[in-house]
């Protein structure tokens, strides 16, 4: 019996050695630093380094759905290298940046990678997904599945009837001005943002809907801005309910394939099989930049509009001021007073779009803290870098 155990152990060791030798570096990193829970806000830096590039390869913790790319790739030609005027390598080290791409006039002016990441990998987006989710509302309006943003949310999500959301419009969800009380404190394990993804749904009901319908009101709809990831998840449920398609399929069919994204993406799922639409699209940094190009081009693909004519201007305009100085908010886009706007995700994910300069900056990172409110000032430093890029382009124009 003992000899048989030794043989079995030897076979296991040899087999694991072969597997380990052939496994790609990202998978080995994930195995060594696999998080033991789904509370990403409380993972260690090494766990985040491993997981952010492999969130869709962690089925023990969370399931995902693929967003297939098409065969025709939107080529990104190389442009003249941009002299930003700052030490980009030092900036990326401070930001703990995995991928950084600057596009101008549709050409790559700068592309760099760190944290052993590359153009071949997928990195998680966190709340950058909010801007993609809101864009799908525009697509659904263009397709006739949603009448307009002034419709009541409960008309598309019947389980919200009789709740605090019964008289909230789609536009108020998009601008986060529902007036519903919510706590988005990433450092508090008892906050709504920390608890709602683990909420056990009522029978035959989406988990997000089940959680959100029991919240309380703190202001009249349309009068107060409060950042609420849970409401973006409601937007996702609304779109999938209206279109009768899951968000991954709809995104793939309407944008990812026809625009020419280079790689398949993925979208993490909640317990009730809906995409976590306020978060968690995994894609390459180049494809996040391509999504910026799609928005910069006003949602037109091969001459055909995918979005209503005025959607991008409306979605990226300033509808209400936020509690962050200098920032306003559109339809799940952060707006700036110079006409630029951005998609932002915790731990340093972002797509910055400046229509005046035909500029896009896509970045993926793993900041030491989730947001500036927890210290470090990484968001402030990132905005300063954006401004440096704008100045560098302006200097070129003067030459």
pLDDT of 8 reads: 45
343-359 pLDDT, tens digit each: 999 999 999 999 999 99
Q: Above 60 in pLDDT, residue 33?
A: no
Q: CATH number of 64-398: 3.40.710.10, 3.10.20.30, 3.40.30.120, 3.40.50.10540?
A: 3.40.710.10
* Confidence band of 341 (pLDDT split at 50, 70, 90): very high
Residue 355, C-beta contacts closer than 8 angstroms, at least 6 positions apart: 296, 339, 340
What pLDDT does 5 receive? 44
Tens digit of pLDDT for each residue in 152-203? 999 999 999 999 999 999 999 999 999 999 999 887 888 888 888 778 878 8
- Does the pLDDT of residue 9 top 50, yes or no? no
Pick the more confident residue, 58 or 305. 305
**What is the structure's pLDDT at 12?**
40
Q: What is the largest CA-CA distance in the chain?
A: 82
Task: Please give the share of the chain, as a percent, with pLDDT higher than 90.
Answer: 77
Query: Angle of helix 229-243 relative to helix 128-142, nearest 10 degrees?
Result: 30
Pseudo-torsion of CA 362, 365, 369, 371, nearest 10°? 10
- Tens-place pLDDT, residues 211-238: 999 999 999 999 999 999 999 999 999 9
- The pLDDT of residue 186: 80
Contacts of 41 (CB under 8 A, 6+ apart): 186, 187, 189, 194, 346, 370
Instruction: Compute how many other C-beta atoms are within 10 angstroms of the C-beta atom of residue 279.
Output: 27
Residue 31 has pLDDT above 70, yes or no: no
Residue 1 pLDDT grade (very low, low, confident, very high; cuts 50, 70, 90): low
66 pLDDT exceeds 70? yes
- The arithmetic mean of pLDDT across residues 290-308, rounded, is 98
72-131: pLDDT as tens digits: 999 999 999 999 999 999 999 999 999 999 999 999 999 999 999 999 999 999 999 999
Q: What is the pLDDT of residue 60?
A: 67
Burial code (b: 16+ CB inside 10 Å, e: under 16) for 68-91 equals: bbbeeebebeeeeebebeeebeeb
- Does 14 have pLDDT greater than 70? no
pLDDT cut 70: percent of the chain above it = 90
Cα separation of 284 and 99, whole Å? 9
**How much is the pLDDT for 28?**
55
> How far is Cα 111 from Cα 285, in angstroms, rounded to an integer?
10
User: Is the predicted pLDDT of residue 297 greater than 60, yes or no?
Assistant: yes
Residue 13 confidence class, pLDDT cut points 50, 70, 90: very low
pTM: 0.90
The pLDDT, as a whole number, for residue 32 is 57
Domain edges within the chain: 2-57, 64-398
* Mean pLDDT (the chain, rounded): 91
- Which among 10-24, 54-68, 201-215, 327-341 has the top mean pLDDT? 327-341
């Amino acid at each position: 019996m003992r000899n048989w155990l030794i043989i079995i152990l030897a076979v296991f060791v040899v087999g694991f050695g072969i597997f380990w030798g052939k496994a790609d570096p990202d998978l080995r990193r994930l195995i060594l630093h696999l998080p033991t829970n789904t509370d990403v806000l409380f993972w260690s830096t090494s766990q985040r380094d491993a997981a952010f590039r492999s969130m869709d390869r962690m089925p023990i913790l969370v399931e995902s759905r693929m967003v297939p790319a098409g065969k025709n790739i939107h080529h990104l030609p190389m442009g003249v290298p941009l002299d930003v005027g700052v030490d980009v390598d030092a900036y990326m080290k401070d930001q703990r940046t995995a991928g950084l791409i600057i596009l101008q006039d549709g050409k790559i002016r700068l592309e760099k990678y760190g944290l052993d990441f590359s153009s071949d990998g997928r990195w998680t987006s966190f709340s950058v997904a909010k801007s993609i989710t809101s864009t799908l509302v525009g697509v659904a309006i263009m397709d006739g599945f949603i009448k307009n943003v002034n419709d009541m949310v409960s008309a598309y999500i019947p389980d919200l009837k009789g709740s605090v959301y019964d008289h909230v419009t789609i536009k108020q969800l998009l601008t986060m001005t529902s007036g519903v009380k919510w706590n988005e404190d990433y450092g508090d394990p008892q906050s709504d943002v920390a608890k709602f993804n683990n909420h056990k749904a009522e029978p035959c009901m989406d988990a997000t809907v089940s959680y959100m319908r029991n919240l309380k009101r703190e202001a009249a709809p349309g009068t107060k801005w409060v950042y609420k990831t849970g409401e973006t998840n409601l937007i996702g449920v609304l779109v999938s309910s209206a279109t009768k398609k899951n968000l991954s399929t709809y995104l793939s069919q309407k944008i990812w394939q026809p625009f020419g994204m280079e790689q398949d993406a993925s979208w993490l799922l909640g317990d009730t099989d809906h995409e976590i639409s306020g978060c968690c699209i995994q894609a390459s940094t180049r494809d996040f930049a391509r999504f910026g190009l799609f928005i910069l081009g006003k949602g037109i693909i091969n001459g055909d509009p995918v979005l209503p004519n005025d959607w991008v201007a409306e979605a990226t305009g300033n509808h209400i001021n936020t509690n962050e100085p200098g920032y306003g908010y559109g339809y799940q886009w952060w707006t700036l007073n110079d006409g630029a706007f951005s998609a932002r995700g915790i731990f340093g994910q972002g797509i910055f779009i400046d229509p005046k300069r035909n500029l896009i900056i896509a970045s993926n990172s793993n900041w030491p803290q989730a947001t500036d409110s927890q210290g470090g000032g990484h968001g402030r430093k990132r905005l300063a870098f954006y401004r440096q890029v704008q100045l560098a382009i302006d200097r070129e124009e003067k030459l």
